[in-house]
Structure 1
Amino acid sequence: MAGKKKKGGNPQEIRNAKVHRDYIVEDTFEAGIVLTGTEVKSIRAGKAQISDGFCRFNRGEFFINGLHIDEYAFGNINNHIPRRERKLLLKKSELRKIERALEAGGKSAIPTRIYFKEALIKIEIGICTGKKLFDKREDLKKKAQMRDADRDLKSYRVR
């Protein structure tokens, strides 16, 4: 008999919870990332955090900063630096679109999630505009209304 597959282990994705609360995501791009071996092992173990991450151009290349990948627990003296600048891999046409959007002003490139695509690690980059305080309040009101409506429907179904 074949054994059952273990659940858990590798996380499906690592999300940035702050993005949809603080920003309006207008466009998204899928990017590859240049990593070392111990960084890949740490991400597979779920030891990464992208909530403080942001992307910017440096000498014509696109980099992600603020991405925290914990040191690999079983690493040796060649372990990686947790908060280093990492290069993102995109097509030239996508880089031009992102550069034009950022140069127009008022927008930022923020990582929304890290996920696995077969054996590769990908990062989803969102071109975002910051929300104003009243936008955040409107979102909270909508959430509260939806919660109340769901509660009412649930109690109506039970009767």
Structure 2
Amino acid sequence: MTTDDGSGRRAARVALGETGFERAAVWSAVGFAVSYVAFDAVSIATAAAASLGATGVPQSLAAPVAGGIAVLTAIGVAAFAAVGGGVLPAALLAYGPFAAVLLRTVGPAPYTLPFADPVPFLAALIEPLGVASAGAVAVGAAGYAVGRVVSGIGDGPTGSDSSPADGSAGADD
């Protein structure tokens, strides 16, 4: 074997990770759904607080909700990378919540689809989803780096030669 084979495997492990795309895809979809509905939940809570006589309740909490979702997504991506996720699955994981946030903040009106002329609606989706893709790649790469540093997986080998990977060291003792 040549040293190029080792670097190719390392690049593949960084890109794909040891944890599959399935987990990232599921969490991306769940993150999209929860993030999309979070704006409605905060709106309902704000309206309920105002109707009960609360004063000083801001009318629009879109920016704090979007910021909170972005922070939670970044933490989730770093945690995913810390347990073996690669850069591409990490970016996929971040895409769902970012797409929801951008659709709710700059996208077309939620819960509407004009059946007579869907072209303007679909055109309005392109920009937020494109920006969400770029943000997901950036957060995926940064989250991967942070997750690997936090988990202690840096430049060294990913496993230890002294104990099996399944944690059964000493089971026969």
* Structure number having the greater helix percentage: 2
If the length of structure 2 is used for normalisation, what is the TM-score? 0.21
Query: Given the two structures, how large is their TM-score scaled by the length of structure 1?
Result: 0.23
Rg bigger for which structure? 2
User: Normalized per residue, which structure has more strand?
Assistant: 1
